[in-house]
Structure 1
Amino acid sequence: MVLTMFLLGLLYVVFMAVLIAVGARAVVVLVIAAGFLLVQYFFSDKIALYAMGGREVSPQEAPELHAVIDRLSALADMPKPRVAVADSDLPNAFATGRNQKNSVVCVTTGLLRRLDPPELEGVLAHEMSHVAHRDVAVMTIASFLGVVAGLMTRFALYTGLGRNRDNQGGLPIGLIIVLVSTIVYCVSFVLTRLLSRYRELAADRAGAYLTQRPSALASALTKVSGEIARIPTRDLREAQSFNAFYFAPALNRASVAALFATHPPLEKRLEQLARISGELGREA
Structure 2
Amino acid sequence: MNILRTATLLAVMTALFMGVGFMIGGTGGMMIAFVIAAATNLFSYWNADKMVLSMHHAVEVDETNAPEYYAIVRELAARAQLPMPRVYLIDNAQPNAFATGRNPQNAAVAATTGLLQRLSPEEVAGVMAHELAHVQNRDTLTMTIVATLAGAISMLGNFALFFGGNRNNNNPLGFIGVLVAMIVAPFAAMIIQMAVSRTREYAADRRGAEICGRPLWLASALDKIARSAERIPNADAERNPATAHLFIINPLSGERMDNLFSTHPDTGNRIAALQAMNSEWSASPGDTFQPAPQDTGPWGKKPGKKPTSQKGPWG
TM-score (norm 1): 0.83
1:132 aligns with 2:131: no
Q: How far has the Cα of 1:33 moved from its partner?
A: 2.9
Distance 2:64 2:276 in 1: 39
Larger proportion of helix: 1
Distance 1:189 1:17 in 2: 15
1:239 is aligned to: 237
1:218 is aligned to: 219
The one-letter amino acid of 2:140's match is: V
Q: Number of residues paired by the alignment?
A: 277
Unaligned runs of 5+ in 1: none
Distance 1:13 1:44 in 2: 21
8 Å contact 2:100–2:135 — kept in the other structure?
yes
Distance 1:7 1:50 in 2: 26
1:53 is aligned to: 57
1:178 is aligned to: 178
The one-letter amino acid of 1:175's match is: F
Distance 2:268 2:175 in 1: 43
Change (3 A) 1:75 1:254: closer
1:282 is aligned to: 283
Deviations 1:181-207 (A, max 9, x none): 343432232122111111111111110
Spell out the pairing of 1:51-130 with structure 2 (5 A cutoff). Answer: 51-130=55-134
8 Å contact 1:93–1:246 — kept in the other structure?
yes
8 Å contact 1:95–1:130 — kept in the other structure?
yes
2:254 is aligned to: 253
CA RMSD, 1 decimal: 3.2
Change (3 A) 1:22 1:56: closer
Change (3 A) 1:118 1:152: closer
Change (3 A) 1:150 1:24: farther
SS at match of 1:105: strand
Change (3 A) 1:192 1:62: same
> What is the percentage of aligned positions where both structures have the same residue?
38
Distance 2:37 2:5 in 1: 24
Change (3 A) 1:149 1:164: farther
2:297 is aligned to: none
Change (3 A) 1:116 1:38: same
Spell out the pairing of 1:11-30 with structure 2 (5 A cutoff). Answer: 13=15, 16=18, 19=22, 22-30=26-34
The one-letter amino acid of 1:239's match is: A
Deviations 1:163-193 (A, max 9, x none): 1487xxxx85443543553434322321221
Deviations 1:51-109 (A, max 9, x none): 11211112111111121112111111110101111122111111111111111111111
SS at match of 1:259: coil
